[in-house]
Chains A and B, each alone.
Chain A
Amino acid sequence: MKKIKLKGLEMDVYTETLKNGFEVYLLPYANKKNYFMSYATRFGSTTTTFTPNDSNKEVSVPAGIAHFLEHKMFEQEDGVDPFTYYSESGTGANASTSYDNTQYICYGTKNFSENLRYLLHYVNHPYYTDENVSKEKGIITEELKMYEDIPEWQLEIKLRENIYHVHPRRVDLGGSVESIQKITKEDLYLCHRNFYVPNNMFLLIVGHFDPEVALKIVHEQLDSVPSIEKPKVKKIKEPKSVRMKEKTIFASVGTPKVGFGIKVPIKDFSSYDDLTLDLYLSMITTIIFGSSSLFRERVRNQKLLNSFYTEWETVEDYRVFYIIASTSDPEQLVHEIKEELQNFVIFEDSFTRMKKVWIANEVRIMDSIDAVVRNIYDDIIHYKKIIPDKMEQIRNLDFEQLNQIASKIDFKNMAIVQLLDEDKADKTKKSTKKKPMK
């Protein structure tokens, strides 16, 4: 077991990789009562076409299968479902699927060893029948409809469709009501067999526990599970441009929404490692669009903002910067954002202040186990390791380099989607209908 010091935080992470490739990350706290564990696979919604490890033939499975599989892990052959098991010790359990990973979590204050043992057991023991697969379709259909009723969700889906030409992020991570109907128990077993394997998975535990005890349980449960040759997933050749630059969609909304997606090819920045580049990119957009930016002050004073948030998305060869806003004047806000992207200036005092904020936040999040888990989990997914010196890396960011990177980003390579109220659209629709169709 390797001990890694988290610099500046007075904490240690213990790591080990089993012979079969399974990775373990343990971060014990001395002054907490609770713990949080996450057992994860690097298999998410975007993997729907692959060549299974025991075959030469490429197969395609229905969209939404990773999420469906996640739901179905909660059905076990012995009839005891994991929710029931965990609730007996007052432990919480859940799972979530993302584009490139799926995690199974449990959190509580008691029964640590049994709960860990059970977590490592149940996720490795799928039990799919025609009947239980069919039953889940009703539940997931309601989940998909719930999300589809959220206007911002629709906007983001449409935005991804317009940013990506071929990348599977174009498809909603839950699939569609139609695609999930096609899922069979055989599809589920196939995915489980190929992607829920030790060399594609890891375990992260944070909070009150003994790392020695945890590691012993991991060895007992997983040493005998063989690694497999990973299934082949074809590399996606996603073009540099966005698929469609501007699009307007309609739904029943009280306030219009606008979404921007700026597509940044990382090969333009090949002299930087992923983490350094991500820190710089994120710093640039925080200074331009963050809560203390001149831009925000300007659009606020014009009463253009109802809500506003930004985020970066990581895919193989690209980073995509999203802006999602709700505004009473979409035209004007789009204009303001475009202007800002072309004319922004970064001042050194903002840069210095944001560094201070980021470093302070690295310390602050240590108070919350949930936040620490999220942070470390993201690092493991994106960088495939723990980042023990993040504060130092932030401190080392350089103003000249920041400006260089900012000047190299093509801020015109973007997709814009506006979501307007359909009542206003009806008039337009009617007028187009009058035109002869043939």
Chain B
Amino acid sequence: MKYTKKDLGAYRLHLIETDKFKTVTVRVSFREPIKKEEITLRNILCDMFTQSSKKYRSKRALTIKAQDLYAADIQTSNSRLGNYINTDFYLAVLNDKYTEPGNFKESLQFLSEIIFHPDVEGGKFREDKLDIVKSACRNSLQSLKEDTANYCLLRLFEAFDSSVPSSFRMMGYLEDIDSITTERLYQYYQHMIQTNLVDIFVIGDIDKEQVISLVREKFPIKTLKKQRVPYLLPDKKPRRNRLFAKETIDSLQTKIAIACRSYGLSDYERNYPLTLYNIILGGGDDSKLFQDVREKNSLCYSIYSVPNKLDHVILIRAGIDKENYKKAIDVIEGDLSDMCKGNFSEEDVKIAKEYFNTALEEVEEQEARIINNYYMMELLGTDDIDEKRKKMALVSKEEIVKVAKKIKMDTVFCLEGVKHEED
């Protein structure tokens, strides 16, 4: 695998040459500091790209074109990266070796068509297409509570700290839909294309020089931008008194989500000891939480923890019976306290490192993960895979305990399942 980064002025082009895959994958990422009031707008814009384009006037026409390119896969998505909102355009297409000469070039042209030639007339998007997208968006938001686990998470982060972007709902807001017009959407589109920071990734068995000149030609982004806002959210002290928030919902199961706040971690601590801390606590298949809450106490089917590093949060999630709420919290608290006291073995640390190493090796087997790894290196200055492997091997138990002491259970959200009985 050979990595080359090329600064093309308005954006950086990252090329990853490998013969591991039969497909070539391209990702174009646009990002800017996130604003709560623009999330819904951006989601709708994101969906508009795949509804139609100037040349392909319907979703069916777009789909047929993609199918003609030997089932080229094109997707768009929005996500949050700390203080930023990030929009990805993603193309995966078979290498020309398995299709016909020129298929990749045409696929890239197609992706460029979708991004740079949207279905716009007279300075606005098409009304009928916007109506379709708005309607689907409205329905999804009205069904928000159907996914109780996800709803619990949204409510947790709103309770945790409503002043920071981790509390923003990435699905958007129902009340923001109506004010989105075809004109406003186009203005926002221009704003995104002209002012956002952009990175482009191409991975596969590619001819480097050919791809560079193709991308230059097909991705005519000209404006130069500077990044001013940091990716990491502000590092805040945990609240003095833990917050317990609760809401009821019509369901059989009760969901709990817990935000633990980390405070004062160095970059090194966040990237290394914290990763092992999380694997031991609730990230691995055989974690403390899994053993204690599920296996020993039979309180749940699923429980795990995950670090949201840019947000300074370690998140714990589980589905339980409401009668067991207090007991589950007690067991989880016990596990957090065990981590602080160093009540885990050197063997646990060794296993966590093995787990991490396997995960690293698996990164190298998937295009999307490889791209993400380079993206994080670019944005956050994280280490490359080899460096990660080396540094992780040297992490000591003491360093993990030191990190554990900087982590406090901050907010607990209980979405209590109450099934109203039919009489």
Contact = CB atoms under 8 A, between A and B. Distances in A.
A21 B140 CA distance: 50
B135 A328 contact: yes
A91 B358 contact: yes
Interface stretch (A182-190, A213-221, A250-258, A275-283): A250-258
B202 interface: no
Contacts of B147: 150
Contacts of A141: 321
B301 A146 contact: yes
B100 to A, nearest CB: 11
B319 A142 contact: yes
A350 to B, nearest CB: 9
Contacts of B94: 360, 363-364
A296 B285 contact: no
Contacts of A300: 59, 132
Contact of B417 (A149, A151, A305): A149
B358 A151 contact: no
Interface string A138-152: 111111011011110
A365 to B, nearest CB: 9
A335 interface: no
Nearest to A365: B22
Interface string B122-164: 0000001001100110011011111110000000000000000
A305 B136 contact: yes
A353 interface: yes
Interface string B370-389: 00000000000000000000
A135 to B, nearest CB: 5
Given A254-B146, A364-B22, A92 B67 contact: no
A142 B253 contact: yes
A99 to B, nearest CB: 20
B59 A363 contact: no
B106 interface: no
A369 B365 contact: yes
Most B CB within 10 A of own CB, among A255, A293, A327, A367: A367
B224 interface: no
Interface stretch (B269-277, B292-300, B336-344): B292-300
B358 A297 contact: no
B250 interface: yes
Given A92-B358, A297-B59, A367-B21, A306 B364 contact: no
A145 B286 CA distance: 23
A291 B63 contact: yes
Contacts of A138: 298-299
A301 B128 contact: yes
B38 interface: no
B3 interface: no
Interface string A74-93: 00000001011011111111
B164 to A, nearest CB: 27
Contact of A303 (B63, B67, B131, B300): B131
Interface string B51-64: 00000001110011
A110 B354 contact: yes
B171 interface: no
Nearest to A143: B301
Contacts of B148: 149
A113 interface: no
A109 interface: yes
Contacts of B131: 303
A357 B417 CA distance: 44
Nearest to A353: B67
B333 interface: no
Interface stretch (A28-36, A240-248, A264-272, A402-410): A28-36
Most B CB within 10 A of own CB, among A90, A109, A145, A354: A90
Contact of B253 (A110, A135, A149, A354): A149
B268 interface: no
B302 interface: yes
Given A253-B146, A292-B64, A303-B132, A146 B354 contact: no
Contacts of B142: 254-255
A368 interface: yes
Contact of A364 (B20, B23, B140): B23
Contacts of B128: 301
A83 to B, nearest CB: 4
A356 B146 contact: no
B64 A146 contact: no
Nearest to B320: A142
Contacts of A143: 301-302
Interface in A30-47: 31-34
A108 interface: yes
B70 interface: yes
Given A90-B355, A360-B98, 14 more contacts: A34-B361, A87-B351, A87-B354, A90-B354, A90-B359, A142-B302, A149-B417, A254-B144, A297-B60, A303-B136, A305-B136, A356-B67, A364-B92, A368-B366
Interface of B: 19-23, 58-60, 63-64, 67-68, 70-71, 92, 94, 98-99, 128, 131-132, 135-136, 139-140, 142-148, 250-253, 284-286, 290, 294-295, 298-302, 319-321, 351, 353-359, 361-362, 364-367, 417
Interface of A: 31-34, 81, 83-84, 86-94, 108-110, 135-143, 145-146, 148-151, 252-255, 291-294, 296-297, 300-301, 303, 305-306, 326-328, 353-354, 356-357, 360-361, 363-364, 366-369
- Identify the 8 closest CB pairs spanning chains A and B, nearest first: A90-B354, A254-B143, A138-B298, A90-B358, A143-B301, A252-B250, A360-B71, A145-B252
9 contacts: A33-B361, A86-B285, A149-B252, A149-B253, A150-B147, A296-B59, A297-B59, A303-B132, A369-B365
